[in-house]
Structure 1
């Protein structure tokens, strides 16, 4: 009779149910699009819609909707947990605990201690949050409160652009570790407390548990073999065959079914099988991407609506409220007295548990107390998994309807508040960056150095890798975060070869030439990162744009990463005979615009085989106490000061033998400088009279004297810190030499530099935008590339050297940053 009634309901209202599903999906998308403007994640819009539907009973066939999801609800969440497991690497549990893991473990421990201290009011049979007084309910509640919704946290930090801040990076890593550990504990608990209805003998359950573990181990070998096979058939950069991806999905489903056939919950089986899958690789990335797209677009909004609509009243709650049995079964829980104290109690328990442990661990990591509290609040974020756990606990009789409703409202409240914490962190980070200029001279040497590195092709990787390696030892314990940007021109051919939704960039260019180039770049960067160890983090990015717009991608990346320096290859490349070719005008345009608009310091690299020699000779040079000979040229000005700061960072590396060359005016040059000032005064007097001439002369002399004073003070401090201590040391690695040359004009300056070109492998020089010196007068009249500055252009010309590479450095313009027109009003 019941089966006949169920079939009749479904057949009679099939079109209506589809219409209601469509209404829920469309409304969820519209709601998410509106709430996304205030950085609310998708789970909040789904929860808000479900609560509204449950409160006002907007849909007429809620019984039919619950009936449909009641039949398949036990399997709906399995793909979500499978994708979650694939994104995690259980091998990290065997490694030494990182800072992220320590913060995660501290949060889990403090949450468990808090649940232990307050387990009595939590687990009262009549008025507590947990209806069942047992060990499994106690451990399950502790694990759920300690769990962090890592997908929600990752998306939130990305949208708020705090994923690259110290707090954001620590929160994302700790959230993933916390999510993995607690979900594994829940999965193991579901195996131990498997409900068999008392039919099994005591030996059956351990045997089934062991069988599940065997299936998981087999899954690891099967999945890795399939991933390698599919990866070999579908190289990186080419379109993935749908049949191959379907085979992987089918194998995963078969392994999940085999685990569930051993009486393990199918959702927990999916998570364990997902953990066994390799977390790296194109196959895993694409599989997770496809699953998450289907889940977020169709499945999860309907699932959350089903959960909220299933809030019905149980017999226990009817007796508490005094309603009749007939009335009770027709009433929604929301029509009963709202369990405010349960919402408050569960929210406070979860928040305090995370705040206590995570904030303490953050303080030990050197965070301020405000940052530590923000870290704890971010790690307390809840999500879809907590809704699933509430539903599973309700179905198992562990919690009552009112506690179920309290947990749902707690998740909604928690998710709504967390973006506000993230916005506070984002505003704090932006303010700190506003008052800490993004450049090497203003970089805190105790913190990680962040670089944005532009790459035209694999030929640029050796030299730029050498520069990254040389710079990273200047501070922060050798920690470097490099954002390697592949600069690919967007043409009609590449536009036709774009596949959205694949790869680590969100798009994949299937053009064979581009994919091969990116593959070679990736192999070279992977080799560099593997050689350098854990201190170096290299993230691959793609700037796929036309040349007039490509600079925007690089500048946005530098701003989001809060980078101190952007390194770009010169648009000209060296020929086999040692001369420079004509170069690519498009890349030159990109360099010019980045130099003009970058939110941090910029370095342009003229490569003459520096990276090849460094790769071949670097390790031997370090062993022998010698290194690559580098000279930094200091004439004066902000750009030269930035170049000197960069050289100071490089000097810490044992494979760099650095020399500081200071070029100063001799007597002839000083006389010419005075004559230039007198000529300027004479011209001004002709235009505006004696008073105007005096004012103009005073202003010019004042600015030049002030610049010279800043240069002298800066170089004196540099000499004291880096040169004086190195004088007298034997050997090369890590030491610094000093040269001083007195010259009269630009010709003598060029002669001095030419005399050094055979002794040094790399020249570091400032661009010299604000340099006011008679030593460089007239050099720009013959310049081919004005964007390099007068000295940089000389060093980059074909007739200068065939072996000496050049790094031209430009400091971020502080006056442009603060939008002032006079240095007198600079807030520094």
Structure 2
């Protein structure tokens, strides 16, 4: 009878615990969904919920949390630190410091100096922030304040879309470096000051430390061998076997246990073992993804609530505050006078330390004052690791209860404020983009060139890689960031083969045809990046949508990346006999919509063996055709960038009107003027007069801009002879003679660069579009892309970003420049 009653009581307790845990998890999820609308990260919703529960003293919930986490509390944070270690690459510490690392080191150094300057008020045994006056507490506080919560910062940068801004990229890279260095210092400190209070012989500590290092080295070999074995059993594109991934996780857990058996803290052992794991590869990505999903969904909300509910005072502190002890009741920290000065002191010291070093490094990198300060504020963001450090320091007696509470509130305040800084950076970036014309003509050659490259399949990579390399000026040229977008149609078959969270895009298409195509594209891009060197960064993206909506993915990518140019393959491909096939209507539709809606300049490449230019010929013969108009000016700018490549021999061809064409142009002008005058005298019948006058005015203004632009181009690139650029000038009468001139050049040149010619108003191209097959290429581009033009000459049709359409202005005078 007694046994049955005990069993029922335990069962009721477990049911209560599960019910209360469910309430915490559901409430945390709902709270996060609400706060995410104001860009608050998950850690803030968890902290807010824990503080509220602690404030209202939910005693049964406290008992339930402590009943579970009192037994396993020392181990729950180990998976988090393991996943954090896997995402980091310690090999970067052996390389020359990059700009990201320099900013991170500056922030760590300045924070450490500030802690040193204020060590006296910090180390007061009675009223200071740190209760224990020792070297380990001093160094631990400096490392924790210098630490950046890189997972929180990366998520904020992604949500706020600032990861591609100058400040955002620098902050994300520096945050990862800062997090790695400071966490490694804390792990090393835990090896040096392990088991405080336990007296060992002088030989024990070095032996244990050496044994831990051996475990870390063994972890590196074991993890890489297992990753290769599991990767061979589970090729890219197929669903990962759960058993194989479980084996890797089990091996990692065994290595962590081995480190903890050597009297190293299990959480720090997990971080060191994770650091030894390869940071790249499908196995590591999936392991981190699955671990983080379980942590964010189940473990971390309960852990944060456990930490917040453990904010109690000792008997001495309660009596000092004048709060008598009540039988069966333990007073909460919330009942004591709130330690505002500690919260303020720790917050200000940590923030000033980061601001001083990171802002100074940012200024040296060329950032403005506001951007440099924003960089320091972003790198000061705190997270789950700081909560763990506060709990560990409290359990070790390094800090008091009041300091424990002060640090928890400091983390909450810091995490709440940081997204506001990110919102400010995002608004600055959007304003700068809004008032800046995107395109090659307005690109600063001294800055990084950003391209969005659409790919139909692996056959497009060599051609577009050649164009990218030509645009950056060849080996040793400028920096290039290419966003390679795999254009995959979303069908019922591919929709059924999507696995969420399985790859670098957030989704993986396990359809064999698609996965094989993407694998080949990835191999080709990796080969290009390895050959191009450090100046080129290629990022893979996936546009998985219907052809009706595919342009949206490309345009959003171009806007987020602040790209200057979108490179797209032509929808037709060359057959073996040299003619062009019928093409894919879906890709043509996507190209048409990108040309219409892109937030930057666009270029469509018609490939006729362009990929072989860099391999077969010492000098690739390229000609840029200039007739007039904004698109031709953009084509001329693109050609000027290509001329810096040592393997490109560029010729500028200017097509001008001969006497016959000039007479036709004067006759057309006289006809428009007569029509305008007649309509004006007739009282505005039909409105043809003002329209004709406006067209004439725009044509004259366009010709003046063309003449001025080409004269400047000639002075810089042709007359100077810096890049050995050639020059041709052809006088033609009409479109027929223009086509004849171009046909005469097709055997001599391997690439034609020409503008689309939307706003071109020239008698030389009149009537050409009447027979056009692909109007989206423009009259000249359509002729060059037709099957009967050439079998060997590729074509690049360029369209300049239409700023007037974007800003909805009518006159150049009112352009926001």
TM-score normalised by structure 2 residue count: 0.96
Once residues 623 and 794 of structure 1 are traced to their aligned partners in structure 2, the CA distance between those partners, rounded to angstroms, is 27
1:223-238 superposed matches below 5 A: 223-238=223-238
Once residues 420 and 613 of structure 2 are traced to their aligned partners in structure 1, the CA distance between those partners, rounded to angstroms, is 53
Residue 420 of structure 1, CA deviation: 0.4
* Shift in alpha-carbon separation, 1:141–1:483, aligned structure 2, 3 A: same
Once residues 824 and 120 of structure 1 are traced to their aligned partners in structure 2, the CA distance between those partners, rounded to angstroms, is 63
* Shift in alpha-carbon separation, 1:627–1:786, aligned structure 2, 3 A: closer
Residue 456 of structure 1, CA deviation: 0.2
String of CA shifts for 1:311-360, please: whole Å, max 9, x gaps.
Answer: 01024423542434558962110110000000000000110000000000
Residue 437 of structure 1, CA deviation: 1.4
Structure 1 residue 710 corresponds to structure 2 residue 705: yes
* Shift in alpha-carbon separation, 1:287–1:717, aligned structure 2, 3 A: same
* Shift in alpha-carbon separation, 1:619–1:795, aligned structure 2, 3 A: closer
Once residues 235 and 808 of structure 1 are traced to their aligned partners in structure 2, the CA distance between those partners, rounded to angstroms, is 39
Residue 682 of structure 1, CA deviation: 4.7
String of CA shifts for 1:638-670, please: whole Å, max 9, x gaps.
Answer: 111111111111111212111111111111111
The RMSD of aligned alpha carbons is: 2.5
String of CA shifts for 1:85-113, please: whole Å, max 9, x gaps.
Answer: 00000000000000000000000000000
> Residue 685 of structure 1 contacts residue 693 of structure 1 at CA under 8 Å; is this kept in 2?
no
> Residue 146 of structure 1 contacts residue 178 of structure 1 at CA under 8 Å; is this kept in 2?
yes
* Shift in alpha-carbon separation, 1:678–1:119, aligned structure 2, 3 A: same
Residue 790 of structure 1, CA deviation: 0.3
* Shift in alpha-carbon separation, 1:226–1:699, aligned structure 2, 3 A: same
Once residues 780 and 688 of structure 1 are traced to their aligned partners in structure 2, the CA distance between those partners, rounded to angstroms, is 35
SS in 2 for 1:631: strand
Residue 442 of structure 1, CA deviation: 1.4
> Residue 653 of structure 1 contacts residue 733 of structure 1 at CA under 8 Å; is this kept in 2?
no
SS in 1 for 2:327: helix
* Shift in alpha-carbon separation, 1:6–1:163, aligned structure 2, 3 A: farther
String of CA shifts for 1:544-577, please: whole Å, max 9, x gaps.
Answer: 1111011111111111111111110000000001
Residue 300 of structure 1, CA deviation: 0.4
SS in 1 for 2:245: helix
String of CA shifts for 1:50-97, please: whole Å, max 9, x gaps.
Answer: 000001124633123112111111110000000000000000000000
Alignment match of 2:744 (pick from 749, 752, 755) = 755
String of CA shifts for 1:165-224, please: whole Å, max 9, x gaps.
Answer: 000000000000000000000001001100164242121111011000000000000000
SS in 1 for 2:567: strand
Once residues 431 and 169 of structure 1 are traced to their aligned partners in structure 2, the CA distance between those partners, rounded to angstroms, is 18
Residue 736 of structure 1, CA deviation: 1.5
> Residue 758 of structure 1 contacts residue 804 of structure 1 at CA under 8 Å; is this kept in 2?
yes
Residue 822 of structure 1, CA deviation: 3.5
Structure 1 residue 804 corresponds to structure 2 residue 799: no
> Residue 454 of structure 1 contacts residue 567 of structure 1 at CA under 8 Å; is this kept in 2?
yes
String of CA shifts for 1:483-524, please: whole Å, max 9, x gaps.
Answer: 000001111111111111101111111111111100000000
String of CA shifts for 1:566-616, please: whole Å, max 9, x gaps.
Answer: 110000000001100000000000000000111111110101110xxxxxx
String of CA shifts for 1:797-816, please: whole Å, max 9, x gaps.
Answer: 00111111111111111111
Once residues 108 and 8 of structure 2 are traced to their aligned partners in structure 1, the CA distance between those partners, rounded to angstroms, is 49
Residue 689 of structure 1, CA deviation: 6.2
Q: Which range is displaced more, 9-18 or 699-708?
A: 9-18
Q: Which range is displaced more, 255-264 or 472-481?
A: 472-481
Q: Which range is displaced more, 186-195 or 644-653?
A: 644-653
* Shift in alpha-carbon separation, 1:88–1:14, aligned structure 2, 3 A: same
Residue 719 of structure 1, CA deviation: 1.3
> Residue 378 of structure 1 contacts residue 418 of structure 1 at CA under 8 Å; is this kept in 2?
yes
Residue 675 of structure 1, CA deviation: 1.4
Once residues 156 and 750 of structure 2 are traced to their aligned partners in structure 1, the CA distance between those partners, rounded to angstroms, is 46
> Residue 446 of structure 2 contacts residue 478 of structure 2 at CA under 8 Å; is this kept in 1?
no
* Shift in alpha-carbon separation, 1:687–1:643, aligned structure 2, 3 A: farther
SS in 2 for 1:441: helix
> Residue 145 of structure 2 contacts residue 350 of structure 2 at CA under 8 Å; is this kept in 1?
yes
> Residue 450 of structure 1 contacts residue 561 of structure 1 at CA under 8 Å; is this kept in 2?
yes
> Residue 191 of structure 2 contacts residue 264 of structure 2 at CA under 8 Å; is this kept in 1?
yes
> Residue 529 of structure 2 contacts residue 538 of structure 2 at CA under 8 Å; is this kept in 1?
yes
> Residue 53 of structure 1 contacts residue 59 of structure 1 at CA under 8 Å; is this kept in 2?
no
> Residue 237 of structure 1 contacts residue 511 of structure 1 at CA under 8 Å; is this kept in 2?
yes
* Shift in alpha-carbon separation, 1:452–1:621, aligned structure 2, 3 A: closer
Once residues 211 and 688 of structure 2 are traced to their aligned partners in structure 1, the CA distance between those partners, rounded to angstroms, is 94
Residue 827 of structure 1, CA deviation: 2.6
Residue 474 of structure 1, CA deviation: 9.1
> Residue 339 of structure 1 contacts residue 402 of structure 1 at CA under 8 Å; is this kept in 2?
yes
SS in 1 for 2:477: helix
String of CA shifts for 1:746-788, please: whole Å, max 9, x gaps.
Answer: 1111111111111111111110001000010000000000000
> Residue 318 of structure 1 contacts residue 328 of structure 1 at CA under 8 Å; is this kept in 2?
no
> Residue 132 of structure 1 contacts residue 398 of structure 1 at CA under 8 Å; is this kept in 2?
yes
Once residues 6 and 72 of structure 1 are traced to their aligned partners in structure 2, the CA distance between those partners, rounded to angstroms, is 24
Aligned to 1:627: 620
Once residues 728 and 565 of structure 2 are traced to their aligned partners in structure 1, the CA distance between those partners, rounded to angstroms, is 27
* Shift in alpha-carbon separation, 1:827–1:198, aligned structure 2, 3 A: closer
* Shift in alpha-carbon separation, 1:324–1:304, aligned structure 2, 3 A: same
* Shift in alpha-carbon separation, 1:713–1:767, aligned structure 2, 3 A: same
Q: Which range is displaced more, 153-162 or 477-486?
A: 477-486
> Residue 84 of structure 1 contacts residue 274 of structure 1 at CA under 8 Å; is this kept in 2?
yes
Once residues 149 and 256 of structure 2 are traced to their aligned partners in structure 1, the CA distance between those partners, rounded to angstroms, is 22
* Shift in alpha-carbon separation, 1:237–1:317, aligned structure 2, 3 A: same
> Residue 620 of structure 2 contacts residue 648 of structure 2 at CA under 8 Å; is this kept in 1?
yes
Once residues 691 and 61 of structure 1 are traced to their aligned partners in structure 2, the CA distance between those partners, rounded to angstroms, is 81
Aligned to 1:95: 95
* Shift in alpha-carbon separation, 1:597–1:692, aligned structure 2, 3 A: closer
Q: Which range is displaced more, 802-811 or 50-59?
A: 50-59
* Shift in alpha-carbon separation, 1:120–1:196, aligned structure 2, 3 A: closer
SS in 2 for 1:689: coil
Q: Which structure 2 residue ranges, 5 or more long, are not aligned?
A: none
Once residues 697 and 308 of structure 1 are traced to their aligned partners in structure 2, the CA distance between those partners, rounded to angstroms, is 75
Once residues 604 and 749 of structure 2 are traced to their aligned partners in structure 1, the CA distance between those partners, rounded to angstroms, is 18
Residue 271 of structure 1, CA deviation: 0.3
Query: How many residues are matched?
Result: 814
Aligned to 2:695: 700
Once residues 68 and 783 of structure 1 are traced to their aligned partners in structure 2, the CA distance between those partners, rounded to angstroms, is 75
* Shift in alpha-carbon separation, 1:196–1:333, aligned structure 2, 3 A: closer
Structure 1 residue 652 corresponds to structure 2 residue 647: no
> Residue 767 of structure 1 contacts residue 789 of structure 1 at CA under 8 Å; is this kept in 2?
yes
> Residue 529 of structure 1 contacts residue 536 of structure 1 at CA under 8 Å; is this kept in 2?
yes
Once residues 609 and 623 of structure 1 are traced to their aligned partners in structure 2, the CA distance between those partners, rounded to angstroms, is 11
String of CA shifts for 1:206-261, please: whole Å, max 9, x gaps.
Answer: 10110000000000000000001111111111111111111111111111111111
Q: Which range is displaced more, 115-124 or 811-820?
A: 811-820
Q: Which range is displaced more, 275-284 or 488-497?
A: 488-497
Q: Which range is displaced more, 75-84 or 328-337?
A: 328-337
* Shift in alpha-carbon separation, 1:196–1:826, aligned structure 2, 3 A: closer
Residue 138 of structure 1, CA deviation: 0.3
Aligned to 1:738: 727
Once residues 787 and 172 of structure 1 are traced to their aligned partners in structure 2, the CA distance between those partners, rounded to angstroms, is 40
> Residue 602 of structure 1 contacts residue 811 of structure 1 at CA under 8 Å; is this kept in 2?
yes
String of CA shifts for 1:379-415, please: whole Å, max 9, x gaps.
Answer: 0000000000000000000001100000000000000
SS in 2 for 1:326: coil
SS in 1 for 2:59: coil
* Shift in alpha-carbon separation, 1:504–1:16, aligned structure 2, 3 A: same
> Residue 663 of structure 1 contacts residue 742 of structure 1 at CA under 8 Å; is this kept in 2?
yes
Once residues 759 and 396 of structure 2 are traced to their aligned partners in structure 1, the CA distance between those partners, rounded to angstroms, is 73
Once residues 189 and 15 of structure 1 are traced to their aligned partners in structure 2, the CA distance between those partners, rounded to angstroms, is 41
Q: Which range is displaced more, 89-98 or 688-697?
A: 688-697
> Residue 123 of structure 1 contacts residue 132 of structure 1 at CA under 8 Å; is this kept in 2?
yes
* Shift in alpha-carbon separation, 1:593–1:59, aligned structure 2, 3 A: farther
Once residues 571 and 697 of structure 1 are traced to their aligned partners in structure 2, the CA distance between those partners, rounded to angstroms, is 37
